Amino acid sequence: MSYFEGKRILITGAGSGLGRRMALSMAREGGSIIAWDINAEALEKVLSELKMASGREHMGTVCDVSTSKAVYQAADTIKGAAGPPDILINNAGLVSGKPFLECSDAEIRRTMGVNTMALFWTAKAFLPEMIHRNAGHIVTVASAAGLVGTARLADYCASKYAAVGFDESIRAELKQVAPGVNTTVICPYYINTGMFRGAKTRFSWLLPILDERYAADRMVDAIRRRRPRLIMPPLVYTVPLLRLMPVAVFDWVVTFLGVNASMHDFKGRKEDAHDRS
């Protein structure tokens, strides 16, 4: 039996991109999807796709996960209608992709709200039931940008560093109070979902722009296997070793690999909406 069979799976940012692909894959394996997205039209479309893929109805809620009030209200609705989720996948994210001083205060708050604060609100909403049952799974879709600071991504990197730290801290706490609750943190390099449209890589054989379908499949497999961490591509696993070098050498290596020039031609999505990074 699949790990997802019969489980209630809440995915934020499920309307398109990685969230949509993960939802469809898990629904086909018997999961009951609870899709959250800020885009009502995208949400309606993915719910239709989920029904076609699985032959069953799934739930969806329009929710701005950056605000605690919206999250708690949507959580109460879900608990009353279907019960609390067994798996929580914090996938919604966005990026401004500008030099730091060109980011407005509102853009910085929005990035931190969606990419970081939402993790706190959803966990506070659903983690108590998981701890009570000593069962459940919290998945944090972070980024390789949560491991390496990158030019023109100051707000995004800060938000994803926070996401990685959040996962590590929650994992440590859960081992003490509810070891049956699993956690998974996912740190991919750029993915061709459109969120990072225009981003470049200098050495595609070392740091490829990841294919959306491939990345989603790897993520689903990591969750299925209850892996505590997934980093893509493998080169990113060397970051802790690179940090043993003097700062000047570390900076030279990152720049040589093209990371600090990767956002120079960034375009991103035209619309201002949650993406699935």
Query: Is 237 marked active-site?
Result: no
Give Cα 74 distance to the centre of its chain.
Answer: 19
Q: What is the CA radius of gyration of the chain?
A: 18
Measure the CA dihedral 26/30/31/33, to 10°. Answer: 80
66, 79 contact by CB (below 8 A): no
C-alpha–C-alpha distance, residues 143 and 188, integer Å = 5
Residue of 156, 161, 189, 190 with catalytic role: 156
Name every residue whose Cβ is closer than 8 Å to that of residue 175 and which is 6 or more positions away in sequence.
none
Q: Which stretches within 115-153 are classed as H helix?
A: 118-133
What letters, b where the CB count within 10 A reaches 16 and e where it falls short, cover 164-174? bebbeebbeeb
Kindly report the backbone phi and psi dihedral angles of residue 106, in degrees, each rounded to the nearest multiple of 5, phi listed first: -65, -40
Cα separation, 81 vs 13, in Å, equals: 20
Pairwise CA distance, residues 42 & 65, whole Å? 16
Q: What tokens appear for 186 in the block?
A: 């996912």
Residue numbers annotated as active site: 156
